[in-house]
Amino acid sequence: MLKFLFKGLMRDRSRSLFPILTVFIGVALTVFLYAYLNGFISDMVKSTAHYNTGHVRIMTQAYSQESSQNPNDLALIGIDTLMQNIDKTYPDMIWTPRIIFGGLIDIPDKNGETRIQGPVTGTAINLFSKSSPERKYFNIKESIVRGSIPQRPGEILIAEDFAMRLKVAPGDTATLLSSTMYGSMAMTNFVIAGTVRFGIAAMDRGAILTDISDIQTGLDMQDAAGEILGFFPDDTFHEEKANEMVSSFNKKYTIKDDQFSPVMGALPEESGLKDYMSLVSVASFLIVGIFVLAMAIVLWNAGLMGSLRRYGEMGVRLAVGEPKGHIYKTLILESIMIGIIGSFFGTLFGLIPAYYMQAYGLDLSFLFENSSMMISGVLHAQVNAATYFIGFVPGILATVFGSAIAGIGIYKRETAQLFKELEV
């Protein structure tokens, strides 16, 4: 029966071409949009983890409540001991301390007087160690525009766009005006080792990178850090494992009445991305639902037109005694075949631009020039296992739904009228 129906569809293109094209287009769009949404949220999560919160983040309770202001007067103290303990407790994680600081960057002229100043947001990380994961997380090697990575104490990296505004170059001197952990004024001289472009507008506007040891000395933060970030080794956020870790850490280390005791938080809550991640899940479901509905309506109309064209055929089949239910089932089987064929080729076609965007990305940095979100201006798609199958859901459901509605007319045919219809 299936072979017979398949041959009929292939030989009579008027029964299959338009429905297959409809499914093909709908499935291709579904697959591409699904991959795009996955890539968008993946880029956002990865950028936020690398540049801001890590997969999990440890801070003091007081710092956590005002984390958007990066209050280093509320920083963690005794981080060497704390990191040794968490390394033993969670050996499968990568732990790294950071200090986020703000201030003014002062550029002197040839006489040592102030030539220009600019507000700066700095990040102190482990830059000197070649084995440090921070070089990979900040993509420093590939982001260097001019100069080189700092090799000695007292050297910094500065955002290329910021450097252009300040009219500075590698080798120039810059003075950081900030405040120490205890609130007094701090002035620290640096040499600009190189300039970088992160591709993230919020950082390219005015960011500097320096080794954490320089800032610990300059801001009087010996054996202290604003936060300790934890990363999963595969650089992928695992929500369930992260939540288990947060729960166990806080039970062991957090003291409710001690505002300076450490507390751990997971990426979605720390970054505010929890709602975005939920929104993408809902959006994926809506995309599939919308395409199922839209294609079902189109295929329903196509089925009605096909029923009119095949009116005589149905009459003959009924007249020779073929049960109405059997005819209805054959229409459903035909629709399933059409759905599978259209979904197969639609999925292949949708994967082509998805793979291209996954490999090369789409540069939309002009849209994020004034954004404060930690997201790259080059958007990527992400093809995962579900991408190969997601298109078959609307492709098959829509064709079956459309044919099921259109085929109801078979049950309205009266046997007494059949011969009159055939005579006509």
Summarised one tens digit per residue, pLDDT across range 365-400 is 555 555 545 455 677 788 888 888 888 887 888 778
In a domain, 254, yes or no: no
User: Which structural domain, as residue segments, surrounds residue 159?
Assistant: 56-231
Better-scored residue on pLDDT, 201 or 55? 55
Judge if 218 and 335 occupy the same domain: no
On the 0-12 / 13-18 / 19+ scale of CB atoms within 10 A, 6 is middle
Judge if 87 and 28 occupy the same domain: no
Is the model's pLDDT at 319 over the cut of 90? no
- Which helix (H) or strand (E) is 394 found in, with range? helix 392-406
Q: What is the pLDDT of residue 328?
A: 77
Is the model's pLDDT at 119 over the cut of 70? yes
Q: What is the pLDDT of residue 372?
A: 47
Q: What is the pLDDT of residue 314?
A: 65
Summarised one tens digit per residue, pLDDT across range 332-368 is 887 788 888 888 998 999 999 999 888 887 766 555 5
Judge if 28 and 141 occupy the same domain: no
Judge if 38 and 74 occupy the same domain: no
**Cβ atoms of 384 and 38 closer than 8 Å:** yes
Judge if 24 and 89 occupy the same domain: no
Judge if 110 and 188 occupy the same domain: yes
Better-scored residue on pLDDT, 227 or 401? 227
Short-list 82, 53, 56, 93, CA closest to 70: 53
Short-list 212, 44, 197, 62, CA closest to 124: 212
Please name the residue that has the structure tokens 């609307």: 394
Q: What is the pLDDT of residue 323?
A: 74
On the 0-12 / 13-18 / 19+ scale of CB atoms within 10 A, 57 is buried
In a domain, 166, yes or no: yes
195 vs 191: CA distance, rounded Å: 12
Structural domain total, the chain:
2
Is the model's pLDDT at 24 over the cut of 90? no
Q: What is the pLDDT of residue 214?
A: 92
Judge if 92 and 162 occupy the same domain: yes
Average pLDDT of the chain, as a whole number: 81
